[in-house]
Chain A
Amino acid sequence: MQLDFHYYATYCAAYLAGYSSEESLSICKSAQFVDRCTATLLSKLKAPRSGATTQLPLEMIEECSDRLGRQDVTRIWASFHFLPYDLYAVKKRCGKKYLDKYRLICQPNSDLVVETVKLAKDSSLQAAGVAMHVLADTWAHRNFAGTPSLVINNTNYYFYELLKDGNSDKERKIKFIHSATAGDDIENGVYINSLYQASENTVMNLGHGRAGHLPDYSFLRYKYLPAWADYEAVIKDNPEEYYKAFCQMVYALRYLRGDFKTFEKDTYDTQTVAPWESLIKNTLKKRQGKEGACKDWKEIGEKISGRAIEDFDMESCQEEYINAKESEKDETYLGKFISAAIAQKSMVTNRIFKSGNKLAGYPKAYKKEGIFRGRNKKAGERKGGVSNE
């Protein structure tokens, strides 16, 4: 998912859940910032690097070359973009080394997504935004894992787009190319993906890189063979799943506002969304790139709220953070975002570690500090670490 869903659709979901336009903007800004908050940016802002929620390509290349680095990569990508579904999953005749990776496969409606939403309860709007990003990505990024792995994240030539042809589906082979300059050619079914690398732990085998941006286009319906699925083809119906993601966001946000006492799995607030259902479904099914989808979602948001939605921009928030006194940094917009990010990362890393899986590293005295050993040492230089438990 990209700007269209994490920013504009999240704004719509928040407004429908009952938040004011200003509150909805705070939530969707935070949801989108999860895709921008890198360790490099945090270093520039002199903020704790452990608050990083994504990585730049060069950061990933550096990190993937050793075990500690890969743990850092896994902490970030599993916590924010590929939330694991079942940390105790079992597969016959598989060793622990394989199972550790298999258990990090992302799917919606996991125990961890419930914990993610509950973690944001009675917290800041920024925490709600972070939770919405994670929740939405469980739908788009399902079947892939947030750790570098050939045996889990690889795909092969078997990739077909399903195009509606009357009442049935017509299959069209998807062609992948590897080019840093060309863009996706939606009309002709030619997409960019990462190059096949036979090494298990290379960054090219992280997440859905081998499937390109296919999971990010809301209109796409396709079938393919995930590397882990024992030759069983999987059908990915993005329009259907994005709609579920949207309705689940509305439900989750209403829970955060106190409309519901508990947050249950597999529950969708279709009733609140009903008046906008056809408009939203038509937008989700429209064959278009990111820009078109952003424009359409922006229009829907403005129609729902009757207010203009500003473009995504974090410059003022960064200024605010830089200019704040040391003791007041945690109360700024960015300070609250970083606290929410560290809380989420801490929770997910601890769950992974407690399941006996070391791929996300070893939690370090998080009850006191909320930070992790190794690359994120700098987080300890400043107060404001978050404890979950």
Chain B
Amino acid sequence: MSKIQRVRSVIAGLLIIAGSLILIAFPERALLIMAGILSLSLFIYGIRRLIYYFTMARHMVGGRIILYIGIVILDFGMFTMMMTNIPKMYIALYLSGVFAFTGLIDIARSIETMTVRSSSWKFRLISGVINIVVASLCIVFINSTEMIVYIYCAGLIYSAIARIVTAFRKTEIIYIQ
């Protein structure tokens, strides 16, 4: 990670913490705001992946995976955008699903990292487990919007702290010359 990337990570982490605190202060509107931010970021990321596929990755061996990732994420983004007019409980369910999905991806990637004998798998595994715990708690307290917001925000604050910690960690690089 370069110095600029480290600074960016720290700033992003601090912004997420600030945003989470604001959401905790206004729990009644929090779910909609969270869904809005999430949908926008997924939408932009999906579009970027699709542009990358059509301009570059379609010529690459195995490049179709970039297309699939782009479509799935764009789909997620659009689906989240449509959630503004439905009951909050469904939004909460969806957000907890996103948390669980992220957690599973983190665990899968940590296993993959472990199989190639990289030392950086533990941190990712812990993140994955915490994400799944947050998702499970959201489902347990599904009837209390406020509680879900608090749990969700706690998860966000944890992610932000993890991001800041990562920014200060030593980057492991395999140097092939």
Contacts and interface: CB of A to CB of B under 8 A. Distances in A.
Interface stretch (B13-21, B25-33, B115-123, B129-137): B115-123
Contacts of B60: 150-151, 154, 227-228
B85 interface: no
Nearest to A91: B59
Q: Is the interface of A mostly helix, strand, loop or mixed?
A: loop
A95 B174 contact: no
A328 interface: no
Interface string A142-173: 00000000110010100000000000000000
A195 B174 contact: yes
Contacts of A156: 61-62
A208 B2 contact: no
A177 interface: yes
A61 B1 contact: yes
A91 B171 CA distance: 37
Contacts of A229: 61
A95 B60 CA distance: 13
A376 B110 CA distance: 39
Contacts, number: 96
Contacts of A57: 173, 175
Given A151-B63, A226-B61, A97 B56 contact: yes
Contacts of B1: 61
A98 B56 contact: yes
Interface residues of A, number: 48
A122 B11 CA distance: 55
A103 to B, nearest CB: 13
Contact of B174 (A62, A178, A226): A178
Classify chain B's interface size: 20 to 34
A195 B57 contact: no
Nearest to A93: B59
Contacts of A179: 116-119, 174
B86 interface: no
A178 B116 contact: yes
A185 B63 CA distance: 30
Contact of A54 (B56, B63, B176, B177): B177
Given A61-B2, A194-B176, A209-B174, A178 B61 contact: no
A209 B176 contact: yes
A132 to B, nearest CB: 17
Contacts of A227: 60-63
Given A151-B63, A179-B117, A180-B119, A192 B174 contact: yes
Contacts of A289: none
B52 interface: yes
Contacts of B177: 35, 54, 81, 207
Interface string B131-165: 00000000000000000000000000000000000
A181 B172 CA distance: 10
Interface in A290-326: none
B61 A154 contact: yes
A338 B150 CA distance: 61
B61 A180 contact: no
B124 to A, nearest CB: 12
Interface in B50-81: 52, 55-57, 59-63, 66, 69
A354 B171 CA distance: 37
B169 interface: no
Contacts of A192: 174, 176
A81 B175 CA distance: 14
Contacts of B2: 61-65
A72 B73 CA distance: 34
B116 A65 contact: no
B49 to A, nearest CB: 9
24 contacts: A57-B173, A61-B171, A62-B3, A63-B2, A64-B2, A65-B4, A91-B59, A94-B59, A97-B55, A101-B56, A178-B118, A179-B118, A180-B172, A181-B119, A193-B174, A195-B174, A200-B52, A200-B56, A204-B173, A226-B61, A227-B62, A228-B60, A228-B61, A231-B61
Identify the 5 closest CB pairs spanning chains A and B, nearest first: A65-B2, A178-B116, A209-B176, A151-B60, A179-B117
Interface of A: 35, 54, 57, 61-66, 81, 91, 94-95, 97-98, 101-102, 150-151, 154, 156, 176-182, 192-195, 198, 200, 203-204, 207-209, 212-213, 225-231
Interface of B: 1-5, 52, 55-57, 59-63, 66, 69, 113, 116-119, 171-177
